[in-house]
Protein backbone atom coordinates (compact mmCIF):
# COMPACT_ATOMS: atom_id res chain seq x y z
CA UNK A 1 0.00 0.00 0.00
CA UNK A 2 1.28 3.44 -0.92
CA UNK A 3 -0.11 6.86 0.06
CA UNK A 4 0.09 9.39 -2.76
CA UNK A 5 -0.69 13.10 -3.14
CA UNK A 6 -3.89 13.73 -5.09
CA UNK A 7 -3.51 13.94 -8.88
CA UNK A 8 -5.67 14.84 -11.88
CA UNK A 9 -5.57 11.15 -12.85
CA UNK A 10 -7.16 10.25 -9.51
CA UNK A 11 -9.89 12.86 -10.04
CA UNK A 12 -10.70 11.38 -13.47
CA UNK A 13 -10.63 7.83 -12.14
CA UNK A 14 -12.72 8.39 -9.00
CA UNK A 15 -15.47 10.26 -10.86
CA UNK A 16 -15.79 7.26 -13.19
CA UNK A 17 -16.33 4.75 -10.36
CA UNK A 18 -19.82 3.26 -10.37
CA UNK A 19 -21.25 1.42 -7.40
CA UNK A 20 -24.12 -1.10 -7.57
CA UNK A 21 -27.39 -0.36 -5.73
CA UNK A 22 -27.93 0.56 -2.97
CA UNK A 23 -24.43 2.07 -2.90
CA UNK A 24 -24.96 3.86 -6.22
CA UNK A 25 -25.81 7.08 -4.40
CA UNK A 26 -22.04 7.26 -3.73
CA UNK A 27 -21.44 7.66 -7.49
CA UNK A 28 -19.89 11.09 -7.91
CA UNK A 29 -21.03 13.64 -10.47
CA UNK A 30 -18.84 14.10 -13.54
CA UNK A 31 -15.55 15.87 -12.98
CA UNK A 32 -16.78 18.91 -14.92
CA UNK A 33 -19.84 19.12 -12.63
CA UNK A 34 -17.62 18.80 -9.57
CA UNK A 35 -15.32 21.55 -10.86
CA UNK A 36 -18.31 23.84 -11.60
CA UNK A 37 -19.67 23.32 -8.08
CA UNK A 38 -16.22 23.31 -6.39
CA UNK A 39 -16.97 19.95 -4.76
CA UNK A 40 -14.39 17.96 -2.81
CA UNK A 41 -11.11 17.31 -4.60
CA UNK A 42 -12.29 19.49 -7.52
CA UNK A 43 -12.08 22.53 -5.21
CA UNK A 44 -8.50 23.86 -5.29
CA UNK A 45 -8.85 24.88 -1.63
CA UNK A 46 -9.69 21.32 -0.57
CA UNK A 47 -7.52 19.26 -2.93
CA UNK A 48 -4.55 19.12 -0.55
CA UNK A 49 -6.79 17.34 2.01
CA UNK A 50 -7.13 14.27 -0.26
CA UNK A 51 -4.73 11.33 -0.37
CA UNK A 52 -4.80 8.50 -2.90
CA UNK A 53 -4.16 4.95 -1.72
CA UNK A 54 -2.51 2.62 -4.24
CA UNK A 55 -1.85 -1.10 -4.14
CA UNK A 56 0.42 -2.57 -6.81
CA UNK A 57 0.32 0.74 -8.69
CA UNK A 58 -3.49 0.88 -8.89
CA UNK A 59 -5.72 3.33 -7.03
CA UNK A 60 -7.88 1.31 -4.61
CA UNK A 61 -9.25 4.19 -2.59
CA UNK A 62 -8.69 7.56 -1.00
CA UNK A 63 -9.25 9.53 2.14
CA UNK A 64 -9.85 13.16 2.97
CA UNK A 65 -8.70 14.73 6.24
CA UNK A 66 -9.98 18.20 7.06
CA UNK A 67 -9.05 20.17 10.16
CA UNK A 68 -12.30 21.39 11.74
CA UNK A 69 -10.85 23.06 14.83
CA UNK A 70 -11.45 20.70 17.75
CA UNK A 71 -11.76 17.64 15.49
CA UNK A 72 -10.57 16.26 12.16
CA UNK A 73 -13.21 15.26 9.60
CA UNK A 74 -12.51 12.04 7.70
CA UNK A 75 -14.00 11.05 4.37
CA UNK A 76 -13.14 7.76 2.66
CA UNK A 77 -13.78 6.13 -0.69
CA UNK A 78 -13.01 2.60 -1.86
CA UNK A 79 -12.99 1.58 -5.54
CA UNK A 80 -16.21 -0.39 -6.20
CA UNK A 81 -14.49 -3.66 -7.15
CA UNK A 82 -12.25 -3.37 -4.07
CA UNK A 83 -15.17 -3.18 -1.61
CA UNK A 84 -15.57 -6.05 0.89
CA UNK A 85 -11.99 -7.20 0.27
CA UNK A 86 -10.33 -5.61 3.31
CA UNK A 87 -9.14 -2.42 1.61
CA UNK A 88 -11.46 -0.26 3.72
CA UNK A 89 -9.74 -1.47 6.89
CA UNK A 90 -6.29 -0.79 5.41
CA UNK A 91 -7.34 2.69 4.24
CA UNK A 92 -8.87 3.49 7.64
CA UNK A 93 -5.64 2.54 9.44
CA UNK A 94 -3.64 4.69 7.02
CA UNK A 95 -6.03 7.64 7.49
CA UNK A 96 -5.81 7.39 11.29
CA UNK A 97 -2.00 7.34 11.17
CA UNK A 98 -1.90 10.24 8.71
CA UNK A 99 -4.28 12.20 10.94
CA UNK A 100 -2.00 11.55 13.92
CA UNK A 101 1.01 12.72 11.89
CA UNK A 102 -0.70 15.90 10.68
CA UNK A 103 -3.01 16.80 13.58
CA UNK A 104 -1.49 15.05 16.62
CA UNK A 105 -4.20 13.44 18.73
CA UNK A 106 -7.24 15.53 17.72
CA UNK A 107 -10.30 13.27 17.68
CA UNK A 108 -11.42 12.16 14.21
CA UNK A 109 -15.08 12.26 13.17
CA UNK A 110 -16.91 10.91 10.15
CA UNK A 111 -20.50 10.68 9.00
CA UNK A 112 -21.93 7.51 7.43
CA UNK A 113 -25.41 6.89 6.09
CA UNK A 114 -27.38 5.05 8.75
CA UNK A 115 -28.24 2.12 6.44
CA UNK A 116 -24.63 1.47 5.37
CA UNK A 117 -23.89 -1.38 7.76
CA UNK A 118 -20.90 -2.52 5.70
CA UNK A 119 -19.14 0.82 6.24
CA UNK A 120 -20.24 1.08 9.88
CA UNK A 121 -18.66 -2.32 10.61
CA UNK A 122 -15.43 -1.21 8.92
CA UNK A 123 -15.31 1.98 10.99
CA UNK A 124 -16.07 0.14 14.22
CA UNK A 125 -13.29 -2.32 13.41
CA UNK A 126 -10.94 0.67 13.09
CA UNK A 127 -11.93 1.90 16.57
CA UNK A 128 -14.68 4.43 15.78
CA UNK A 129 -17.80 4.59 17.95
CA UNK A 130 -21.21 6.12 17.20
CA UNK A 131 -21.77 9.41 19.02
CA UNK A 132 -25.04 10.61 17.46
CA UNK A 133 -26.91 11.15 14.24
CA UNK A 134 -27.42 14.07 11.93
CA UNK A 135 -29.61 14.87 8.91
CA UNK A 136 -27.74 16.58 6.13
CA UNK A 137 -27.90 17.46 2.46
CA UNK A 138 -25.21 16.07 0.13
CA UNK A 139 -24.66 16.08 -3.63
CA UNK A 140 -26.69 12.82 -3.61
CA UNK A 141 -29.62 14.29 -1.68
CA UNK A 142 -30.70 14.48 1.95
CA UNK A 143 -30.01 11.64 4.33
CA UNK A 144 -29.67 10.60 7.95
CA UNK A 145 -26.10 9.89 8.99
CA UNK A 146 -24.50 8.27 12.01
CA UNK A 147 -21.71 10.44 13.37
CA UNK A 148 -18.77 8.32 14.47
CA UNK A 149 -15.70 9.34 16.43
CA UNK A 150 -12.18 8.02 16.98
CA UNK A 151 -10.30 9.05 20.11
CA UNK A 152 -6.56 8.50 20.34
CA UNK A 153 -5.77 6.50 23.47
For 12, phi then psi, to 5°, come to -60, -45
pLDDT tens sequence across 32-65: 999 999 999 999 999 999 999 999 999 999 999 9
User: What is the rounded average pLDDT for all residues in the chain?
Assistant: 96
With beta carbons less than 8 A apart as the criterion, state whether 94 and 126 touch: no
Tell me: pLDDT of 139 over 80.
Answer: no
Tell me: pLDDT of 145 over 80.
Answer: yes
pLDDT tens sequence across 124-134: 999 999 999 99
pLDDT at 112: 97
pLDDT tens sequence across 58-98: 999 999 999 999 999 999 999 999 999 999 999 999 999 99
Burial of 14 from C-beta contacts in 10 A (0-12 / 13-18 / 19+): buried
CATH hierarchy code of domain 2-150: 3.40.630.30
pLDDT at 11: 97
Amino acid sequence: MKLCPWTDRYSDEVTSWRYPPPYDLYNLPSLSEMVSASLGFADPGQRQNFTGVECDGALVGFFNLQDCGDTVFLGIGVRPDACSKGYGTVIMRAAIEESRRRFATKPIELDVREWNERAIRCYEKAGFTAVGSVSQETYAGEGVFVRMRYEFG
